[in-house]
């Protein structure tokens, strides 16, 4: 698990390898990840957008930007957390993801970014 706190918002990420399959005659490596967003600040906040950078061992880079997370824009009061699971496909057995969430502080009405710490994606059969 990797964790990072930015402006009182703690991001924790756990990953797991889901398996392999072929898509369009190319081997795909499937990974799942679970993200917990915990509000350790004194203000209520809302997650409004996400920005991901996904890179595999072949140096293929994909950027994913969108509203909320899995169709939700959670509001977190102080001490509350939101957990969700998602996944990605790579064309190699190794890779990494990182990014940030765009959030709004309801007390100040300011928008701010929360860093998502870089985390590794690796197929266990490919490790020494």
32-80, pLDDT tens digit by residue?
999 999 999 999 999 999 999 999 998 999 999 999 999 999 999 999 9
Superfamily of domain 2-121: ApaG domain (2.60.40.1470)
Residues 27, 91: contact at Cβ < 8 Å? Answer: yes
Residues 51, 75: contact at Cβ < 8 Å? Answer: no
Q: What's residue 128's pLDDT?
A: 54
Task: Tell me how far apart the alpha carbons of residues 70 and 93 are, in angstroms, rounded to a whole number.
Answer: 25
Alpha-carbon Rg for the chain, nearest whole angstrom, is 16
Residues 49, 67: contact at Cβ < 8 Å? Answer: yes
Does the structure show a pLDDT above 80 at 22?
yes
Q: What's residue 111's pLDDT?
A: 97
Domain ranges for the chain, please list them.
Answer: 2-121
Q: What percent of the chain shows pLDDT beyond 70? A: 98
113-122, pLDDT tens digit by residue?
999 999 999 9
What pTM, to 2 d.p., does this model score?
Answer: 0.93
Place of tokens 């950027």: 63
């Amino acid at each position: 698990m990797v964790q990072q706190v930015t402006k009182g918002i703690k991001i924790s990420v756990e990953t797991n390898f889901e398996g392999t399959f072929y898509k369009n005659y190319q081997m795909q490596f499937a990974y799942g990840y679970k993200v917990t967003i915990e509000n350790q600040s004194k203000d209520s906040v809302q997650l409004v957008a996400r920005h991901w950078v996904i890179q595999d061992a072949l140096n293929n880079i994909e950027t994913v930007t969108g509203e909320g997370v899995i169709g939700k824009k959670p509001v977190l009061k102080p001490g509350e957390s939101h957990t969700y699971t998602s996944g990605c496909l790579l064309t190699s057995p190794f890779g990494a993801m990182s990014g940030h969430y765009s959030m709004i502080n309801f007390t100040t009405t300011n928008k701010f970014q929360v860093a998502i710490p870089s985390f590794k994606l690796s197929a266990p059969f490919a490790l020494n």
